[in-house]
Homo-oligomer: A and B are copies of this chain.
């Protein structure tokens, strides 16, 4: 990940987001940067840069901070906190082939994801396995399809709901009809 041209340059978007997240959590707790650095066993310099969004922290550094703040590590990576007001997201214009579109991800520790899948007729699409403990819900908005974990496929029609453990490979397959489905993925909160 070598970024040429800049030494000690601003890190990627993720780094900036994480920095903001850390600063926010720290201030919520009324903790000074110096104190957080002390508790986490880091130097003030590291924390300062990190909060500024500069640089590219390691996992251990983040883990130490999460521990010192008493929050799960994944909370530091939450990009889309749901404190926000009303939020609308329009879908992409229709295209050929299957589309898999992440509509939204919310919750401390990424507990909820909303996806929209459009599967043309006679198409098979495999679902990516998620973290263990994840539950996947599938609401058929229109059309019909066969879906589920590889060893337990079910026939679904418009309006049906399928729920299954999302940590195994699974499958969406259409027949004559296309399908338009909403997928809700709920992951356990872990640290």
Question: A-side interface residues toward B, CB under 8 Å?
Answer: 1, 11-12, 14-15, 18, 25, 28-29, 41-42, 56-64, 69-75, 77-91, 103-114, 116, 128-133, 135, 137, 139, 141-142, 148-149, 152, 154, 156-157, 159-165, 167-169, 180, 182, 184, 186-191
Contacts and interface: CB of A to CB of B under 8 A. Distances in A.
Given A111-B186, A133-B83, A71 B128 contact: yes
A164 B84 contact: yes
A136 to B, nearest CB: 10
20 contacts: A1-B64, A14-B73, A72-B105, A72-B110, A78-B187, A78-B190, A79-B132, A83-B168, A89-B163, A90-B157, A103-B139, A106-B186, A107-B135, A107-B186, A107-B188, A108-B188, A109-B111, A114-B184, A116-B139, A141-B142
A12 B110 contact: no
Nearest to A86: B164
B77 A74 contact: yes
A106 B132 contact: no
A71 B128 CA distance: 8
Contacts of A104: 137, 161, 163
Nearest to A148: B86
Given A15-B59, A107-B188, A182-B141, A161 B83 contact: no
